[in-house]
Amino acid sequence: MPLSRKSIILTGAGRGIGRAVATKLASEGARLALVARTEKEIQETYELIKDQSPASFFIKADISSRISLNEAFSVIKSQMDAIDVLINNAGIQQPIGLFHENNMDDWEQNIKTNLLGPANFIYLVLPIMIKQRKGKIINFSGGGATGTRPNFSAYAVAKTAIVRLTENLADEYRMWNIDVNAISPGAVNTKMLDEVISASQKSGKELSEALKRKEQGGTDLSIPANLVAFLASDASDGITGRLISAPWDPWAKKEFIDSLRLVEDICTLRRIDNKFFKKI
């Protein structure tokens, strides 16, 4: 049970990837604080894991609201003696469409949910992890972080910022043995895929790919769930400041794991100018 006695906070645990991650972590012995904004969904996830992880519990909270987040965190602290891992999975995709046609209130809400929510949660857990002199923070990045994603500007901006936040905090908190990493889960079939299809032509070139994925299936949910379990475990100690692709990177292989610890720029956001011309 590699996660035995680990106390883990998981946001966005009500459905999709979050639910898959919850069931995986529970099966490996973790105690979970499940956080989501829809009570029915979060309770359904809890029912799935309670036999394997009877000490787990769930909290309804909206991570885009600092007030809601603070209230949820107070409950978590009252029920958990330690916080070993924070997993920032919760996210939204809207608005979809050309930037000048977006509703800017929706654009701002996307940033609040996908960037400021995780940042605020990290802010709350860091003092505890510093006191423990150990901790793991796992942030979910996604499409648009390593390349442009037309018609999804808010999502792409937020997910890129999450990677830079990850890298920055990894350097700031390395001395306390706090590992901070981001993952890209791959093209999974979740509610976000349905949103792309519902947006129709506003989704641009992604619409045809979404329709194909809906019919043929996307990345298996177990793939990102397994990567999260690895990064939450002691087996990943010393890996920090990385953006790891669940379906594309060979993260289960020893050679790649060694590279994540030793090679400075692997799995990071960097300019690649030297690939095209020599330094002056």
Residue 13 CA to residue 21 CA, distance in Å, equals: 8
In the residue annotation, 123 being an active-site residue is answered as no
Identified catalytic residue from 46, 123, 155, 173: 155
User: What are the residue numbers of the active site?
Assistant: 155
